[in-house]
Structure 1
Amino acid sequence: MKKLNEKAIYDFNKAIALDPNEPSTYCFRGSAYLELNEHKKAISDFNKAIELDPNHTNAYYRRGIAYCHLEEYEKAISDFNKAISLKSNDISYCYDNRGYAYLQLNEYEKAISDFNKAIELDPNYILAYTNRVNAYLRLNDYARVIYGCNKLIELDPTNLAYYNRGYAYLKLNEYEKAISDFNKAITLDTNYTRAYWNRALTYVHLNKYEKAISDYNKVIELDPDDKNNYYLRGHVYLQLQKYVKAASDFNKVIQLDPTNTSAYYFRELAYKSSRGFLFGF
């Protein structure tokens, strides 16, 4: 794909040399730069296309995408507004991308409104459904997360959709439903760290500590440098009265983060509990 875009740029350079006043050629070259993540060059070409044709909808739309990549979301929104007002052929994408820009600016209801509009225009627009779920998650609106994931799963039953729905069920204390969804997410991706992590947390809520340990073991196998994984497993070992293993996990936390005062406290608690357990105190 990189070579194709580089070849396209070479050809557009020639076309521009022959006719420097054709706006679409600049837009095409800008699109090739966009594919190569050369966003400033892309914007320069889209600027030229708009200078030559102030109603060039595709140039506004694509410049908006480039601004999103550069995290210049206000400028992106302005461009998507213009593309929408000009009735872009990519209008559903304009709404979705404007929604994404609003999402990054923490304007969640505006984002949701745009994702809804994108879905209304294209009921099979999977990315718009996904982005809408992300907005619901930002709002901690777990009932709507479940609703959004249900719609998404009908179209595209991905591990992320099941994970997000499982996470929403977890936050709503519907633990069995959460586990069912985390199971599905893990079936679709056996190395899905977050799904194991949250399934472990769900098992803890259900007092199924051995199953929680099994999941934390997998999480640590996948991500051995995250102190939080050892810290949480250490607490589960405390619940199981496996004090030596708990102390070992808190030791690991301290190795990874010597300033973690909580780990020192619980390591000492594990040592004391171990001595009391061994001697029948």
Structure 2
Amino acid sequence: MSRVSALSLFAIVPLILLLSSASMSRADDAQSPDLSAADAAFDSGQYAKAYSLYNASAKDGVLGYEAQVGVARCFMEVKQYTESESAFDEAIKLDDNRFEAYAGRGMAKWLQDKNKDAIVDLQRAIEINDQSVDGWLYLALSNQSLGKHDDALKLFDKAVALDDQRWFSFFQRAKTHLALDDPAAAIADYTRAIEINPNNTNAHRQRAIAYQQQEQYAEAIADINQRLAVLPLDTDSIEIRAEIYQASEELLMSARDYSALIGMNTNVPESLKSRGGCYMELELYQASIDDYLAASKLAPDQWTYANLATCYEYLDEYEKVDGFYTEALKLDPEYELALVWRAYARQRLKRFTEAKADYLAALKAGADDDPIALGNLSWLLSGCPDETVRDGRLALELATKANELYEGKQAWVVDNIAAAHAELGDFDNAVTWVQKAIELAESEEEQADIRTRLELYQNKQPARIE
């Protein structure tokens, strides 16, 4: 992935710091050309003019070291990184003991994602001048890009120790802290970056993400609002704020931001899905259905179909639940959740043979450690009115495993153990287990339901699905 677009917001300042005319040491001999006009043009942002002036200093068609570096940095500032790298090559041919050209070429390589090559140049720059902040900084960035975050952190520490007034060093070290799952340290570094450069709204945006990871939602919202006060149409920040609101369960505010993104025609399918999720949590099921349906037409996937099925389940429309889980399974035939809950829908629709087949397929696909799947299938195998579906021994095995997974704390699973014993004709154990289920029940309504089965077992009758 090219780093050009990713760095366009904040990379220019460090580039100028590295290769500004003030940082260049001029040869102190009479043959060194006067490049002050070229340097002045460069420092004022007139890169085309500076480029021409540096080239005009050539003697017999050959540029000196400083002029060659000047040409290279002009290319870099206009994001022509390949040309910049080549120009630094020429500078190094003229003098291979100057750190500026190695550091600059390393940076140009890093900007082209040539990180391993960049590291070689940046290490050479540091060998020549171990006080080069930029050498340490961009060596850290190259390691960061390679995912070597522990190494990168040590290198960022070195750069910060040499110069603790560069916001960019703190900003990038914060990214490494996040990669190392240390949001508190990231927050501290983003805070320091903001102190050095208060107008750096990008640091506010990134600190908001770190605060979100810490579940400090008020601080996260305050930071992202700082960013949006300056850039109100920054869709990335609007999306981040929507996610923060959703994580903090401010669902209406989250839905508002997703609506804004949809209105701005930004990432519409995902925004529809996310807003649909907010509406589902708010129990606005028809609004959720509308969003998921619209999203499924733009970018269908199994999860959107599953969410549609979930909405219809809340509305007790099980034919539609069946239909949308079927659509999900067309895209992913081994989607465990879809198999389990389509089975439940078919059970509710009294299509017991199909329900059993779905449950068994779900276990084969990997749901054999899902206590809900195990428990639901156990109840079907114990209580199904269709004797060709029932299997008391397998029901007892599945219910026992589900109970172990729940550590014996779920009344409905213990109730299923009782039902399996009853199906096997062991009514004494059925009574024992159903009494345990009554003790575990969390509401009077649940207790009353379970007692209906206690009466059946006391009368030597198995339970049946109605």
* TM-score relative to the length of structure 1: 0.82
The equivalent position to 1:53 in structure 2, one of 220, 231, 244, is 231
Q: How does 1:58-207 map to 2 (within 5 A)?
A: 58-88=236-266, 90-124=267-301, 126-156=302-332, 157-187=334-364, 188-203=366-381, 204-205=383-384, 206-207=386-387
CA contact (8 A) 2:378 2:416 kept: no
Greater length-normalized contact order (CA 8 Å, ≥ 6 residues apart): 1
CA contact (8 A) 1:2 1:36 kept: no
Name the SS for the 1:106 alignment partner: coil
Name the SS for the 2:273 alignment partner: helix
- Partners of 1:101 and 1:170 lie apart in 2 by 29
Name the SS for the 2:181 alignment partner: helix
Structure (1 or 2) with the larger CA radius of gyration: 2
Deviations 1:121-156 (A, max 9, x none): 3234x4433322322222222222222222322333
Q: Deviation of residue 7 (structure 1)?
A: 5.5
CA contact (8 A) 2:207 2:223 kept: yes
Q: Which residue of 2 aligns with 1:228?
A: 412
- Partners of 1:261 and 1:161 lie apart in 2 by 31
CA contact (8 A) 2:378 2:420 kept: no
The equivalent position to 1:218 in structure 2, one of 401, 414, 420, is 401
Q: Which residue of 1 aligns with 2:220?
A: 42
Q: Which residue of 1 aligns with 2:141?
A: none
CA contact (8 A) 1:237 1:246 kept: yes
- Partners of 1:267 and 1:167 lie apart in 2 by 24
Q: Deviation of residue 87 (structure 1)?
A: 2.7
Change (3 A) 1:93 1:28: farther
Q: Which residue of 2 aligns with 1:245?
A: 429
Which amino acid is 2:432 matched to? S
Q: Deviation of residue 27 (structure 1)?
A: 1.9
Say whether 1:29 aligns with 2:224. no
CA contact (8 A) 1:108 1:135 kept: yes
- Partners of 1:146 and 1:273 lie apart in 2 by 35
Unaligned runs of 5+ in 2: 1-178, 462-466
CA contact (8 A) 1:231 1:249 kept: yes
Name the SS for the 1:3 alignment partner: coil
RMSD over aligned Cα atoms: 2.9
CA contact (8 A) 2:375 2:416 kept: no
How many residues align structurally?
272
Q: Deviation of residue 48 (structure 1)?
A: 1.0
| Bigger mean CA offset, 223-232 vs 234-243 | 234-243
| Bigger mean CA offset, 60-69 vs 5-14 | 5-14
| Bigger mean CA offset, 68-77 vs 232-241 | 232-241
Which amino acid is 2:296 matched to? I
Relative to total residues, which structure has the larger helix share, 1 or 2?
1
Q: Deviation of residue 248 (structure 1)?
A: 2.1
Deviations 1:234-273 (A, max 9, x none): 2443454322212221343355469857767865775675
